[in-house]
Structure 1
Amino acid sequence: MVEALKKDYRTAPISEQDRTMLDYVVKLTKDATKCSPEDHSRLRAAGFDDRGILQITLIASWFNYINRVADALGVGRD
């Protein structure tokens, strides 16, 4: 499963709900200004409520933030 997700989550054997969530997280990570109400509608259609959408957004954003901080400070580099 891990290898399939690393290769391409869009073809990995995951649920449509997970794929929809990952589509949103990838978009948020690449350019959060492109996230729109339509993305939230897709998440709702996949079964996420407002609280779930908020949690997905907060968790992905926090990981993006902390990784950028670590990269800027050279954490983990030799």
Structure 2
Amino acid sequence: MEDIKTDWRQAKLEVHDSFLCEFAEKLTLRLSTINNNDITRLKQAGFSDRAINDAVQVIAYFNYITRIADGLCVDTQPDSQNIFNTLALMNCLH
């Protein structure tokens, strides 16, 4: 798990887990680039509509809470740690 915290791209992940990590990162850092191809790719990797919906909800929630904490100048974990925590929670979705 340490390699996921450092750089998920270097971790030895299953293909579907890599797709989910990529999607989570994209939704977090490059929201305006999300499109139907991203959803199709997750479905082709074996994620159900429900799992994709749940993943988006969890990712969005963590991003929302982080934005609130940042707005109130609350000391939080680095973004990479937040992404890791999100992915760890989403691990049960697949």
How far apart, in 2, do the equivalents of 1:47 and 1:11 lie?
22
Q: Which stretches in structure 2 are left out of the alignment for 5+ residues?
A: 77-94
RMSD (Å), alpha carbons: 1.3
Bigger Rg over Cα? 1
Counterpart for residue 29 of structure 1: 28
Q: TM-score, normalised by structure 1?
A: 0.88
SS at match of 2:68: helix
Moved over 6 A (4+): none
Q: Deviations over 1:6-55 (max 9, x none)?
A: 22101202211111001001000012121110000110011101111111
Report the number of matched residues. Answer: 76
5 Å-filtered alignment, 1:39-78, equals: 39-76=38-75
Q: Which has the higher contact order (CA 8 A, sep 6+)?
A: 2
How far apart, in 1, do the equivalents of 2:29 and 2:15 lie?
21
Q: Which stretches in structure 1 are left out of the alignment for 5+ residues?
A: none
